[in-house]
Structure 1
C-alpha cells in the first residue's frame, strides 16, 4: 500500500511538476507612433551617421569634461537617494530568494530526551518507577508539493519585482547623472551672469563718475545723474542676485554629490565647460522600450500575469507532506543501536470547496494586470512625449541662439554708438541708458539659450535611456 501511494505521488509530481496556470505573456503593442515625430520643429534634430546613438555611449563618453566627470563619479558613490535605490534592489533580491526557497523542503534535525518518575499509585506493580526516553529525528515539516504552480507563480512574480527594482535603480542612476550635469551647467551659467553683472557694474560706475563730473560742471542734468545712479544700483542688485544663485547652485550640487564638491572642480564660467556630445536618437520609437522605467513597468506587468497564475492555482487542491526518520531508545547509549529506528509519513491534501476570498483574490489579480497594463502604456506614452519635446528643442534652439547672437551684436553696436554720441554731447544719457538695458538683457538671454541647449542635450541623453544598458542576468533566476 505504501509503495503504491509513493508511486502515485511521484507520478503526479512528474506529470504536474511543469503545470503553470498563469496566462501566457505577450508584449502589448506600444500605444505610440512607430517613428519619432518629424516636421518643422524637428528639422535640426535629424539623425546622422556621424553622430553616435545614445545606446553606444557611456556617461563618461557623453560628458567629456574631466571636472564634471569627477563630480558625477562622486555623486554615484555618495548620493543617498541612489544608495536607497541600491538597497531596495538588495531587498527585492532577498525577497525573491525567500519566495524561491518555498519550492524546496525545509529539512530540520531535532533531538530530545526526557526522564520521568511515576508514583507507586500510578504503576501496575505498585512500586515507584523511573522511565527515560531519548530520540533524534531528521524530517520535513509541511512541505507543499507545487502540483499546480502556485509557488512557482509567486516565485515568478517575486523575480519580476526584483527585475523591476533593478531597472528602477538604473533609472535613478540615469536621473542622478543628468541632474548633476544640469546643476553643474546651471552653476556655470550663473557664474557667467555674475561676471557679466560685475563687468556691468564697473561700466556703470565709470559712466556715473563721468556724469557726476559733467553735472558738477553744469553740462549734465540731475535727471541724467539720477538715471546713472539707478543703473549702478541695478547692477549692484544683479550682483547680489547672482551671488545668491551661485551659492544655491553649489548647495544643490553638494547635495547631489553627497559631499562637499572641491572648488577646483567647480566651473569658472559657462565657456570653460566642455559641452556634452551630440546624440542621435534613431528613427524608430521602439528604441524607447529599452528605457529602464519602461522595462520596470513591463516587469511589473509580467509579474501581474504570474499573480493570476497563483490566484488560479488557489482553486485546486494543495498537497503537503510531513515526514521524519530517526531513532528512539530508553537509554542514551542505545539511541543509535540496532532496532531503535523510527519513521513517520503524513501526507495531507486540502481541497477548496467554497471560499469567497479565493474568487475575490482572482478578481484582484485580473484587476492588477489591467492596472499594470495601463501603467506600462502610460509610461511609454510619457517617454515618447519627453523624447519628442527634447527633439523639438534641439531642432529649434540653434536658430534661437543664432538670432539671439545677432541681437547681442546689434545691441552692442547701438550701445557703443549711443555712448559715443553722449560723450560728444550730441545726445542725452537716456539713449545710453536704453541701449545698455537692451544689451544687458540680450547678453543674459544668450547665456540662457546656451544653457538651454546644453541642458537639453543632457535631457535627451536621459530620456533616451542614458546609454549603455546594464544587462541583468535573468537566466540566473529562472530555475
Structure 2
C-alpha cells in the first residue's frame, strides 16, 4: 500500500515538473539607450514622458477639455472597455472551474405498469401505478486538478484579461495623441487662414492703389494685372484653408465622439499649444512600460500557460460526482427519517492511444509561444524605432525652425526694400511681386514647421508610452 502511495506521489510530482515551466522574459532585442545622433542631454525642466500624465503634459485648457470629451464619448475606447468586461467574465468562468459546482434538484416520477409486466417486488397480474420523488444536493463532475490543467487554463485566462486591459490603455493613449494632433492641425490651418486673409487685405490695398496710379497714367496695365494676380492667389489660399478647417473640425468631432463647442477650438499655434519638454537621455527599458508591449508580454505569458494545459493531457483526469438527498414513493414522506440517500461516483480517464493528438496539441502550444516571443520582440523593436525617429526629427525640426525664422526675417526686410524702390520708381512692380510672394510662402512654411514640431512632440510622448491614463 505504501509503495502505491509513493508511486502516485512521484507521478504527481513528475506531472507538475513536466508542464509547469516558469515564464522567462526574453532579452530586449534593442540597444540599452538611443544613439548619440538622436539622444541629447536633457534640457532644464525636461520631464520623462512615461511618467507624465497627459493632463500635465498638455498645457492648453481647451485641448484638455476636448481630450476629456473624447475619453468619455469615443466609440473605439468604449469598445475597448467592453472588451475588458468580456475578458473579465471569461476569466471568472475559467476560475470557477477549480471549484465544485453544487446544485439542488428535485424530481417526481409517476408511471403505470400494465398487469402483464413482471417487476421484482410488485404483484404480477394486476396493473399498478408507481410514484417516486427525489430531492438531491450534490456536485456534478468536479475535476481534481492534480496536474495543473485547470490552473494553467486559469492563468492563461488571467493573462488574456490583463492583455485586454493594456490594450485599452494603448487605445486611450492613441486617442489622446490623436486628439492632440487633430487639435494642433486645426490651430495651424486657422493661423494659415488668418495669414492668407491678411495677405489678401494687403494685396487688395496694393491693387486699389496701383489702379489709381494707372488711371492717372503713372503705372502700366502690366503692373495692375500683376497686382490682381496676387489678390486672386490669396483668395485661392483662403478657400483652400477654409475647406481644410472644415475637414479638421469633422475629424476632431469624430475623435471626441460628440460635437466640440466652438469655444474650445484653437485660433492659432500660440503659447497655449505648448507642451512640456521630454528628456531624451532615457534608457530603452522605459519602452517595457508601453501598453502595447505590456499587451504582447501578457499574451506571451498566456502562451506559456497554454503549454502547461496541453502537457497536462498526458496525465489522468480525475472527476468526482457526489450527492446526498432523500427519496420516497410518497411526497409527504420525502423528509421522513430513513428516506435519506447518497451517491459517490469517482471517474478517472487517460487516453492510451490518440494517434499523436496530444503530442500535436503540445507542439501547437509551443509554436504559439515562439510566435508570441517573436511578436513581443517585434513590438519592442518597433517602439524603439518610433522613439528614435521622433528624437531625430525633433533635432532636425529645431534646426529648420531657426533657419526658417531667419528666412522670414530676411524676406520681410527684402519686401520693405522692394516696395520702397517701386514707390521711388527705381524698380518695376514685378520686383515687389516676387518679394511679396516669397515672404508669404516663407511665413506659411514657418507655420507648417511649428506644427511639425508640436506634432512630433506628441508623437514622442506617445512612442514613449506616456501616461495616457493620467
| TM-score, normalized by the shorter chain, greater than 0.5 | yes
Counterpart residue number, 2:350: 351
Counterpart residue number, 1:263: 262
* Partners of 1:32 and 1:324 in 2: CA distance: 59
Counterpart residue number, 2:424: 424
TM-score, scaled relative to structure 1: 0.92
Stretch deviating more after TM superposition (237-246 or 123-132): 123-132
- The residue correspondences of 1:206-217 to structure 2 (distance < 5 A) are 206-217=205-216
- The residue correspondences of 1:407-422 to structure 2 (distance < 5 A) are 407-422=407-422
Counterpart residue number, 1:87: 82
8 A contact 1:190–1:242 mirrored in 2: yes
Summarize deviations over 1:252-311 as a string: whole Å, max 9, x none: 111111101001111121125241111224431111111111111111111111111111
8 A contact 1:16–1:147 mirrored in 2: no
Using a 3 Å threshold, how does the CA distance of structure 1 residues 186 and 401 change in structure 2: closer, same or farther?
A: same
1:34 pairs, out of 23, 32, 35, with 32
Counterpart residue number, 2:21: 23
- The residue correspondences of 1:107-146 to structure 2 (distance < 5 A) are 107-122=102-117, 124-146=123-145
* Partners of 1:31 and 1:381 in 2: CA distance: 7
- The residue correspondences of 1:212-227 to structure 2 (distance < 5 A) are 212-227=211-226
- The residue correspondences of 1:9-408 to structure 2 (distance < 5 A) are 19=16, 21-39=19-37, 41-42=38-39, 45-48=40-43, 50-122=45-117, 124-271=123-270, 273-355=272-354, 356-408=356-408
Counterpart residue number, 1:474: none
- The alpha-carbon deviation at position 17 of structure 1 amounts to 12
* Partners of 2:469 and 2:288 in 1: CA distance: 11
8 A contact 1:175–1:462 mirrored in 2: yes
- The alpha-carbon deviation at position 171 of structure 1 amounts to 0.7
8 A contact 2:173–2:469 mirrored in 1: no
* Partners of 1:90 and 1:80 in 2: CA distance: 15
Counterpart residue number, 1:473: none
Stretch deviating more after TM superposition (354-363 or 24-33): 354-363
Counterpart residue number, 1:476: none
Stretch deviating more after TM superposition (444-453 or 224-233): 224-233
Stretch deviating more after TM superposition (394-403 or 166-175): 394-403
Gapped runs of 5+ residues in structure 2? none
TM-score, scaled relative to structure 2: 0.93
- The alpha-carbon deviation at position 216 of structure 1 amounts to 2.5
- SS at 1:27 equivalent: coil
- SS at 1:441 equivalent: helix
- SS at 2:32 equivalent: coil
8 A contact 2:102–2:140 mirrored in 1: yes
8 A contact 2:15–2:315 mirrored in 1: no
- Count of residue correspondences: 461
* Partners of 2:349 and 2:284 in 1: CA distance: 50
- The alpha-carbon deviation at position 163 of structure 1 amounts to 0.7
Summarize deviations over 1:143-182 as a string: whole Å, max 9, x none: 2211111111111111111111101100111111111111
